[in-house]
Structure 1
Amino acid sequence: MTEKPILIVGAGISGLSAARLFKQCGIPCIVFEQSTPEKSQGYAITVRDWAFEPLLEGIGGVSVSDFQKGVAVDREIGGTGWVDLTFRNNGTGETLFNPEQSQKGNKVSLFRANRGVLRDWLGEGVDIRYGYKLKAAQGGPGNVKAIFENNEEVGGSILIAADGVHSGVRQSLLPSVHVQTPPVILFHGKRRMTVAEWNELWSAHIGKSTIGAGVGDDFNTFVTVANATKDGSIDLDWTYSRTRDGESDPLWMPDRGEIVKTPQHLLKEIRSKDLVPPFSTLVNADDIKKSKVYNWRIWALQVQRKELDKAAESGVVGTRRDYNRRKSGFVRYQCR
């Protein structure tokens, strides 16, 4: 009798990590993703040893250095995604504190990876089916059925919900559980410059780190390397964030789309800040107004244990994820 595959909904970091581990163990699985393969997710995330070490061991003992060469944001210019998490006063450049070291002796504890490249790396050899949006999940452990909006039905042994905070699986099985939006404003944008321009701007202020963390008076500015290309370009990301300022805050737009025309209130607010390089160069109102920005929202979700147990009775399990866009979402699994 043919073994039923494990069905994984969501081709993000968690779903693809699980699929890659199952593949290594010889367990059949299929990943279903509602978006198209072309969807860009080229921003950077921080990956940590407690997540990537078990993963690398589980998929055949891949070395950390080879992993970095494959997915680090600056891999194309010989970098390893090295991170200095020092927080700096974005108005003076003064060092404030460093919450975590990126290396412990000779052991890498964290580095920056390009999320899109990491997804491609994890998806090597995995059966990924794009354009599949889940409509419903039925059945029980050992005999589940995923029903998609294209009217296709696929049977499997279990179903893993790895489809993010707006999970279609969760909405199907736990419709009373809703996401919340904490009162945080976060705008994100992109810049591109040559490696020479980046070195001149970056090295004097941030050094070799691929992230610069700036803290101001009730607002934060983060600048990061998103990707380095073979043609000698550096893609950089910037974020401007703060807590919501009352009910009438003009920058509080939870119902607006992710990509928006640059709000005039944002430009005015940024111009009022006295920033130092590299924050003043990358979080610059005159440059920002020339392009659209991303209105990133922070999502929060709390699910009770009894609700998870209820979902498990239907043959569905979930993956633990982190949705602040800065941390990895690997899963752990061992062949038995």
Structure 2
Amino acid sequence: ALARTLACPVILVVDAAALSGTAAALVLGCQQMQPGVQLAGVVLNRVGSQTHLEATAEAIRRATGLPVLGSLPNDPLLAVPERHLGLVPAGEGGMRAVTLARLADMVSRRFDLEVLRRIANSAPPIRIEAAPAIPMEQASVRIAVAQDRAFGFYYQDTIDLLRECGADIVPFSPLDDETLPGETAGVYLGGGFPELYAKEIAANHRMRAAICGHARQQRPIYAECGGLMALGETLTTFDGETLPMFGVVPVASRMQREALTIGYREIAALHASPLMDPGTRVRGHEFHWSVADPPPMEVAAYRVLDDGDRFEGFCVGSTLASYVHLNLAGAPQLAHHFVASCARARS
């Protein structure tokens, strides 16, 4: 849909392991089922041998007329570690330098980079109306942003926008630090992997007390997904161990392997919060393996309008915590609202 909207050419990446003619059928299916999309070429992954590459490329060319512009071998040294939410983050050593160097060497030797650049440059210019410029404010309030092994899912657009609205962004670690940064007016707990570090979160009694104290003082906290789980009363891991969390919002989350919750969401705010006024509508997304009981209406943050008309998230005092991830660049007024809420709480 995005390629069709932007009229961009597409390079199709196909897992060719144990396939040749069937790979051609897959490419042909994509070509015929997406007539509005300009397929410009194919890249083959996990190729077994030169003979396999040549046979598969010829089958694709005969069936579709598309060229194979590159390939990677079925090489375990190119594998990138992954787990239940996708690839292991770079901060945890997800892709080693030696793997990256090997991959770069393979691409330089096995891809037609000149043709790929030419295809990329053939995309038409994108004409959009520029968003109104946001005046750069002098840093006025300090917002502590959780950034460590357990928390790290943030849109850089959101962080940049908060700075433009006057926030002094200071990273902190709920795992390793014992207190919030000095003069913290607001806290932002993004997504991540609290389920993998639940014991460390539970054992950091001083940080748990600091965040609870921040909430009791009615200072703003905004949390998404993993941040919601950490702000809850307990978290039950994949192994079935239940551990205490920060205890700011009345929810117990638990990991489960049966079904992944994933999808775009349109939400409407039910109560005033540090981020938005009641009735505000925004779009975001969910992506998590954990589950939690739905919030009662009196503390529910949002009504989800396009996924069963259900309640989602928690709005307790000056804390807003939800499974929904938001990119504030899509709704800049929310960034202004959050920074203003922090400024009022500080004063």
**Does the TM-score normalized on the shorter chain lie above 0.5?**
no
Write 1 or 2 for the structure with the bigger share of helix.
Answer: 2
Q: TM-score, normalised by structure 1?
A: 0.25
Higher Rg:
2
Higher relative contact order, structure no. (Cα contacts within 8 Å, ≥ 6 residues apart): 1
